């Protein structure tokens, strides 16, 4: 994706005004006071939202994984509503050596509550909650109830929708209306960051960039740049995320990226491991030095995805769609999983 053009005239004028004010007050642009101010600005990254603080933490280091329960095929009746509690706990126990956060995709009355409760018991640190259908009052009500009940115990954010613009499930006005309703109904003095999520190319739309407190794109080189090997793909993902943050003037959390371990000759357990090894050896939090207010950052703390989901391959007709997991359906880890092990 090509970087989008920006006009810098207003920014340059603002810089000149600030320099004039500094000189008038006897403060040089490189003075200790200015440096301290910049340090305070960086420290403010996580002060407004607990979820931001979680993403910038160094102890523990944040590590989220996109989670849909194993052994749970929504193509079979109402399976998604009938998750076995013991199976779900085994999922989260299996993930916990590598991950302390979860990325969800929808709200379901019994399922989502169970996930949050089990995550708390196992001392997970953060959850990106989700609303699949922005027009669903049931999902909005359920998410608000979870926030009221658990916001003081775990870092929370909410992703309203996932690729629904891409697949024509809802519209941009639907998203705006849903997010506004969610914000209005948050408990007093409770601050929860809200986002939506679409494939990278959709963010060329300034209207989409304007939605939410931060951006949560799905950046998949497998689809957008299939010619790239693992190392080159990681560089491309990081470059695109940085450009998006600078263009939108918003923080970015990459919600989905990665390599599958099957589905085409170039996709193997080792190529998947190579992608994540390169991804994890790069800085996990990129604070853009040229940014000040609001502070801009890109977080590379999320993995896609927890377990293989064979039902996705059946539904899409693409075998690779069932092979993104860092663990098999039976919770056996692939080599890439060990790369995410927390130190």
Q: How distant, in Å, are the alpha carbons of 48, 173, 337 from that of 242?
A: 22, 27, 26
Q: Identify whether the C-beta of residue 217 lies closer than 8 Å to the C-beta of residue 200.
A: yes
Rounded Cα distance, 203 and 248, in Å: 9
Distance of CA 8 to the CA centre of its chain: 29
Q: Which two tokens stand for residue 46?
A: 């996580």
Domain ranges in the chain with CATH number 3.20.20.80: 47-339
Neighbour order of strands in the sheet with 297-299: 252-253, 297-299, 285-287
What are φ and ψ of residue 2, in 5° steps? Answer: -80, 140
Q: Which two tokens stand for residue 296?
A: 């801009």
> pLDDT (tens digit, 0 to 9) for every residue of the chain, 343 residues total?
333 333 333 333 333 333 333 333 333 333 333 333 333 333 444 458 999 999 999 999 999 999 999 988 776 554 455 678 999 999 999 999 999 999 999 999 889 999 999 999 999 999 999 999 999 999 999 999 999 999 999 999 999 999 999 999 999 999 999 999 999 999 999 999 999 999 999 999 999 999 999 999 999 999 999 999 999 999 999 999 999 999 999 999 999 999 999 999 999 999 999 999 999 999 999 998 655 566 899 999 999 999 999 999 999 999 999 999 999 999 999 999 999 997 5
At 177-213, the pLDDT tens digits run 999 999 999 999 999 999 999 999 999 999 999 999 9
Phi-psi label, residue 263: left if phi above 0, alpha if psi -120 to 50, beta otherwise:
left
Fold designation for 47-339: TIM Barrel (3.20.20)
């Amino acid at each position: 994706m090509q970087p989008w053009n920006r006009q810098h005239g207003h920014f340059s004028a603002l810089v000149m005004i600030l320099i004039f004010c500094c000189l008038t007050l006897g403060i040089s642009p490189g003075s200790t006071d200015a440096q301290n101010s910049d340090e305070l600005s960086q420290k403010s990254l996580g002060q407004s939202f607990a979820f931001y603080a979680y993403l910038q933490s160094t102890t523990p280091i944040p590590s989220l994984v996109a989670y849909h329960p194993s052994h749970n095929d929504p193509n079979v009746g109402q399976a998604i509503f009938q998750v076995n509690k013991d199976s779900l706990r085994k999922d989260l126990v299996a993930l916990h050596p590598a991950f302390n956060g979860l990325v969800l995709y929808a709200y379901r009355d019994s399922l989502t509550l169970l996930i949050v409760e089990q995550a708390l018991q196992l001392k997970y640190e953060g959850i990106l909650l989700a609303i699949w259908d922005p027009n669903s009052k049931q999902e909005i009500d359920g998410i608000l109830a979870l926030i009221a009940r658990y916001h003081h115990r775990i870092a929370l954010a909410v992703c309203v929708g996932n690729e629904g613009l891409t697949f024509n499930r809802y519209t941009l006005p639907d998203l705006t209306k849903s997010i506004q309703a969610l914000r209005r109904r948050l408990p007093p003095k409770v601050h929860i960051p809200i986002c939506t999520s679409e494939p990278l190319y959709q963010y060329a739309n300034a209207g989409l960039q304007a939605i939410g407190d931060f951006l949560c794109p799905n950046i998949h080189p497998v689809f957008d740049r299939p010619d790239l090997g693992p190392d080159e793909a990681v560089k491309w993902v990081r470059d695109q995320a940085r450009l998006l943050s600078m263009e939108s003037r918003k923080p970015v959390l990459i919600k989905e990226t990665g390599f599958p371990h099957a589905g085409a000759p170039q996709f193997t357990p080792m190529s998947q491991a190579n992608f994540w090894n390169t991804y994890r050896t790069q800085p996990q939090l990129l604070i853009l030095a040229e940014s000040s207010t609001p502070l801009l950052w890109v977080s590379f703390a999320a993995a896609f995805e927890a377990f293989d989901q064979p039902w996705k391959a059946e539904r899409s007709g693409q075998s690779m769609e069932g092979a993104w997991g860092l663990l098999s359906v039976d919770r056996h880890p692939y080599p890439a999983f060990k790369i995410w092990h927390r130190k």
